[in-house]
Structure 1
Amino acid sequence: MKAKVLRDFKAPDMVPYDGTSDPSHRLSNFRSRMYLTDASDATRCKAFPTTLTKTAVKWFDNLPPISITSFYDLANKFLARLSIQKDKARHAPSLLGIKQGDWESLQNYMERFNKACLDIQNLPTEAAIMGLINGLREGPSNQSISKKHPTSINEVQERAEKYNNMEENSRIGKTSKTGFSYPSRDRDKEPRKKEDQPTEKPRKYHNYTPLRVSLVDV
């Protein structure tokens, strides 16, 4: 009967956990979904690995055989190991690894940086400001934002928003100059209208009516 239950059981529909985000959130989410299905302890132990990927599933695969006695035991070992990964990536110094790409827009960089800041608890304002400025690509945006040292994230975002608008206006301006209208010199090459075409040349005749007077008199 238990084998049939495990075979018919469908694992929770969850985004695979790769070990980079908070493991306690993933565990809490998994427990909530399993509680709704009224799954047994054994079923939880078998279903949990199916929601893991990358670093997290490698950790599970490296567990010694018959080393898990219950889901409580599995959960504790999961938190103990994956919390180390979380601590490495979720402190303020990790922001120094976020860099604006060579062709990345300032807006996209700001969105990535803000998302990373949300994952760090008790993030000092000064650390966030330094991390953001440090990751900016060398150029006008870097000089504009860091010209006068900002005192708050809001101030940095306001300066970035102004530069974003400048970038967008510049892009729109370049686009508007590349329409499909003919250049003036090309228009001169357009076929002339029918009425502008030269009239047909007069035909040449080989026989003419003889004159009754001399050419001198004419």
Structure 2
Amino acid sequence: DIPLPRGLEKPPTLDKYDGTTDPDEHVQSVETALDYRNLRGSIKCKLFPLSLTRGASTWWRNLPPGSIDSWEELCRMFTAHFTTSRRHPKTVASLKAIVQGPEESLRNYIERFNKVSVEVEATDKMKLYLLEEGLREGTKFQEAVGILEVETLDAFFELAQRYIKYEDKQKV
């Protein structure tokens, strides 16, 4: 039993984990909060259960006493137990699958693409290529991108913004 350091009479507020979301993200969140307070090892182990609810809390209560010797071991056991809740990384194939629908606005298409794009490791050139490939055939914007030979992601988004404003005006 290790006493809590002064200033931790009121434990830090930690994000809650119930066993249904990515365990790696939870460990990272807890670690960030505790590292900020300069807390290490056994103190982290003592505070970690405060972040657990529902199924995750049940897992913690069912651990055999003395089965965890370090923060690293706790993280390993925790992430191994909840491994099926891990979020699978998005790939370039995830981006390639995003195409502008027949009635979809340019704004919605770009928003959908960007939402996935932030999770994919790809160069801006690759993202630009996939954005262009996913544009609906025969639109004025697709034609403009081809004629102007847009070369950067920033240039694509600048041009897209002009067309989005135009689309918005047409709705009114």
Class of the TM-score when normalised by the shorter of the 2 chains = 0.5 to 0.7
Segments of 5+ residues of structure 2 without an aligned counterpart are: 3-8
The 5 A counterparts of 1:1-218 are 12=13, 14=15, 18-19=21-22, 25-32=28-35, 40-50=43-53, 65-66=63-64, 68-77=68-77, 85=86, 88-100=88-100, 104-121=104-121, 123-138=122-137, 140=139, 143-144=142-143, 146-148=145-147, 149-172=149-172
Q: Answer yes or no: is the 8 Å Cα contact 1:101–1:137 preserved in 2.
A: yes
Q: Answer yes or no: is the 8 Å Cα contact 1:125–1:153 preserved in 2.
A: yes
| TM-score computed with the length of structure 2 as normaliser | 0.57
How many residue pairs align between the two structures?
155
Higher mean C-alpha displacement, 13-22 vs 131-140: 13-22
AA matched with 1:144: E
Distance of 1:140 and 1:152 partners within structure 2: 20
Match of 1:89, SS state, is coil
CA separation of 1:133/1:169 partners in 2, compared to 1, >3 Å: closer, same or farther?
same
| TM-score computed with the length of structure 1 as normaliser | 0.48
Give the structure with higher Rg (CA): 1
Segments of 5+ residues of structure 1 without an aligned counterpart are: 3-7, 173-218
Aligned-pair RMSD on alpha carbons?
A: 4.5
Identity of aligned residues (%): 22
CA separation of 1:162/1:33 partners in 2, compared to 1, >3 Å: closer, same or farther?
same
Higher relative contact order (CA 8 A, sep 6+): 2
